[in-house]
Amino acid sequence: MSASVSAASVRISIAYQNWHRFSRNPTALIGAAIVTIVVLAALLAPWIAPHPDHVGAIVNFRVRHQPPSAQYWFGTDNVGRDIFSRVLFGYRISLLLAAVVLGFAVPVGATLGLLAGYFGGWMEILIMRLTDVALAIPPLVMALAVTAVLTPNLLHAMFAIAALWWTWHTRLIFSITRTLRHQEFVEAARTLGASRFHILFRELLPNCASAILVKVSLDFGFVILIGAALSYLGLGVQPPTPDLGTMVANGADFLPDRWWESLLPGAAILFVALGFNLLGDGLRDLYDVESVR
Amino acid sequence: MEFFYFLIRRVFWSLLVLFGLSIVIFVIARVMPGDPARMAMGPRASQEQVADLKAKMGLDKPILAQYGQFAVGLLHGDLGLSFLTKRPVNHDIAETFAATFELVLATILVAFVVGVPLGVVAAANKDGWVDNLVRFFAILGAATPSFLLALLLQVLAGYVLHALPTTGRVSPDSPFTADITGLLTLDTLLRGNLGGLWDALRHLLLPTLALSAATIGQIARITRSSMIDVSTQDYIEAVRAFGVPDRVRMFKYMLRPAFVPPMTIMGLEFASLLGNAFVVELVFSWPGMASYGVRSILQKDLNAVMGVVMISGVFFVVINLMIDVLVGFIDPRVRIRGARA
């Protein structure tokens, strides 16, 4: 009884220590604040957007190309839609894209990294050479090629990015696992007759958790940027679905006079990417995992 | 001698990567679309025409035979015909590659020339305000979409200040051509044409800035952390104990080994740099591989797209091989261990 109580209190005190250090890390705090704002904005978009109906393919030529004002915070676009409302809904697409890509890439990448790092031998050669091949293709170029073959849309963009993204997680987990596989706690588990599954996922994986957390936070920013670049080139999410990259591309036709139509959605992409980067950077300090980029 | 074996091994693995790459591209180009011949001919072509093209492309043979044919073509540098320009894809890419190469080379140069000193200064003032400033700009650089920065630079330098050209590689009325190496800056210099060089540099500046922002930050951060790592090594303590001046210790004994991680990182990051180059090229109408690639995609010109992907991969592999050799020269330990850190 007392053992379980003390284990629980140790856990609580570690959580408290982490929070204590986190709350004194300005980088992480600002990052977390930005991420919270963006996630809330995306979730609550239908209720907080001033003009939720402007998400679709409506036209309102009377108010086209309006500069930012109290009524239209980010101005209006070339068919008179409120850019601020569209940015809020655009965040939904960006976050969904990153969540789906990482939801695939992290489990797949981590599992392959664990296998390669723990077993070594031909398993390592096979998996790590496969990642070498995947690393040689720029993710954006791969996405271009895939959308050239299939039709450009959100699903194919997700597929194209995820098809290469696991490599970074494989490399990361591989390098950690390789240094851990001969440590005493792994030997002990093996001696006690633990299954391979147990050793991989219950002994080794928890030791990679902080590195994965940092990497995922940074990755959210990078995947959002790639998705934006893809739709900037016209190969991602298709209109009229509001997408930040598409909005920048369409607005760029009206530079420099109607700057708000491209630069403000662009700034919105910068804002969310900056949030995830600051958060990841702060977490990296917190967990002292310098090697994660 | 160890270095020779190391090199042989690296070349072997590079070839293996290229083989893997060819399979990936084959799968994307020939297997995923279902019917590449139909795709090439468009929806209005008749059954007979499609069947005819299928036979011509060898698509009626078994899949392994198709791959064999594809791979033999690749080995001969044959990437097929572009449906759009009706010319061999390798000719089209050869024409556009030099422009991309020049832009990427300039970016790497700027990233090292700016990034490494920033990293050294940050490491020397660890946790000071300079360090924090460098860190902030590194994060900002990584978070800025390259197309946004490109657009901003275009508006600022081109429309507001009227200081720099915002599109293309040369002025429209310029008689200069890149006829020796394909690199405009180098060719104008070789011909002793300073006016042409000036014109080329002015065109190169903005795209390079837009592309290098993220890389500068990365290089600075890696240089910083590797300088700090090196500074805790015993031999640096020994150098200090011998009374070697700080400056000499820093530049002679620390910077050289600290230079290795930024270089290997540059190699890995090269793929994403190339990807960003696609976007930046488009904004500045840079006549490179990206403009060609994106145009081909919009026209569903499959051979051209796959050629661009293949050349991007080859470019990546070659750059990484070069970096490994360079790292071997800088850091003798790599030659002996035979692998990079």
Residues B105-144: pLDDT tens digits? 899 999 999 999 999 899 888 888 988 899 899 999 989 9
Q: Tell me which of B9, B151, B296 to substitute to probe the interface with A (most A C-beta atoms closer than 10 Å).
A: B151
A to B CB pairs, distance under 8 Å: 157
- pTM, rounded to two decimals: 0.88
What is the arithmetic mean of pLDDT over B30-53? 71
Tens of pLDDT, residues B43-78:
677 777 777 777 776 677 777 888 888 888 888 777
Decide if A292 is inside a domain.
Answer: no
Q: How far is CA B11 from the centre of its chain?
A: 19
pLDDT range class, residue A5, cuts 50, 70, 90? low
> If you search the block for the tokens 């800035």, which residue do you land on?
B209
Is residue A1's pLDDT more than 60? no
| pLDDT number for residue B200 | 80
What confidence score (pLDDT) does residue B307 get? 86
Which pLDDT band, with edges at 50, 70 and 90, does B270 fall under? confident
Chain A residues close to B135, C-beta within 8 Å: 281
Interface membership of A221 toward B (CB under 8 Å): yes
B275–A138 C-beta distance less than 8 A: yes
Q: Assess whether pLDDT exceeds 60 at residue B341.
A: no
CB atoms B309 and A232 under 8 Å: no
Partner-chain contact A274 B279, CB within 8 Å: no
Chain A residues with CB inside 8 Å of B142's CB?
221-222, 273, 277
Distance from CA of A211 to the nearest CA of B (A): 17
In sequence order, the 6+-apart residues with CB closer than 8 A to the CB of B174 are B196, B199
What pLDDT, on a 0 to 100 scale, did the predictor assign at position B32?
65
Indicate yes or no: CB of B145 within 8 angstroms of CB of A228. Answer: yes
At B241, is the secondary structure helix, strand, or coil?
A: helix
What does the pLDDT read at residue A127? 93
pLDDT at B210: 92
A207 within a domain of the structure (yes/no):
yes
Q: Does any domain span residue A31? A: yes
Upper half-sphere CA count for residue B54 (Cβ side, 13 Å):
18
Residue A80 domain flag: yes
Residue B104, token pair as written in the block: 């990427």
pLDDT at B340: 42
Q: Is A293 on the interface with B (CB under 8 A)?
A: yes
CA distance A240 to A231: 12
**Residue A272 sits in which domain range?**
2-287
Q: B24-28, B171-175, B334-338: which has the minimum mean pLDDT?
A: B334-338
Give me the residue from A133, A252, A277 closest to B17, CB to CB.
A133
Domains: count for chain A = 1
| Identity of the residue in B225, B302, B316 whose CB atom sits nearest the CB atom of A136 | B316
Please tell me which residue of chain A has the smallest CA distance to B300: A148
B199: number of CA atoms within 13 Å, CB side?
18
Q: What is the DSSP letter of A254?
A: G
CATH number at residue A269: 1.10.3720.10
Predicted confidence at residue A291, as pLDDT, reads 62
| Distance from the B275 Cα atom to the nearest Cα atom in chain A, whole angstroms | 5
Lowest mean pLDDT among A1-5, A131-135, B92-96, B119-123: A1-5
Q: For residue A38, count CB atoms less than 10 angstroms from its CB and return exposed for 0-12, middle for 13-18, buried for 19 or more.
A: buried
CB–CB of A129 and B28 under 8 A?
no
Q: Which residue of B has its CA nearest to A140?
A: B275
Kindly state whether A57 is in contact with chain B, defined as any CB-CB distance less than 8 angstroms: no
**Do the domain assignments include residue A279?**
yes
What integer pLDDT is reported at residue A221 of this predicted model?
Answer: 93
Question: Closest Cα of chain A to B189: distance in Å?
Answer: 32
Tell whether A76 is within 8 A of chain B (Cβ): no
What is the chain B residue with the closest CA to A230?
Answer: B279
Q: DSSP assignment, residue B157? A: I
Confirm whether A293 is domain-assigned: no
User: Could you tell me which residues come within 8 angstroms of residue B257 by beta carbon, excluding any fewer than 6 positions away?
Assistant: B226, B230, B330, B331
Higher pLDDT: A10 or B134? It is B134
Distance of CA B278 to the CA centre of its chain: 10
In a domain? residue A221? yes
Amino acid (1-letter code) at residue B115? G
Can you tell me whether residue B300 is helix, strand or coil?
coil
Share of chain A above pLDDT 70, in %: 97
Q: Is residue A38 part of a domain?
A: yes
Q: What is the pLDDT of residue B144?
A: 93
Least confident window among A105-119, A192-206, B8-22, B246-260: B246-260
Residue A90 has pLDDT above 80, yes or no: yes
A234 close to B (CB below 8 A): yes
Dihedral-angle region of residue B207 (phi above 0 means left; psi in -120 to 50 means alpha; beta otherwise): alpha
A254 touches chain B (CB under 8 A): no
- Most B CBs within 10 Å: which of A35, A94, A144, as the mutation test of the B interface? A144
Taking an 8 Å cut-off on Cβ atoms, the answer to whether A136 and B313 are in contact is: yes
CA-nearest of B145, B189, B197, B142 to B171 is B197
Contacts of B308 in chain A (CB under 8 A): 141, 145
CB distance A129–B317 less than 8 Å?
A: no
Q: pLDDT tens digit string along A59-75?
A: 778 878 888 888 888 88
Confidence bin at B179 (pLDDT 50/70/90): low
Q: Percent helix, strand and coil across chain B, each rounded to 5?
A: 75, 0, 25
Nearest alpha-carbon partner for A163 in B316, B32, B39, B278: B32
Tokens for B295, please give them.
């145009």
Residue A73's alpha-carbon distances to A81, A253, B118, in angstroms, are: 12, 20, 38
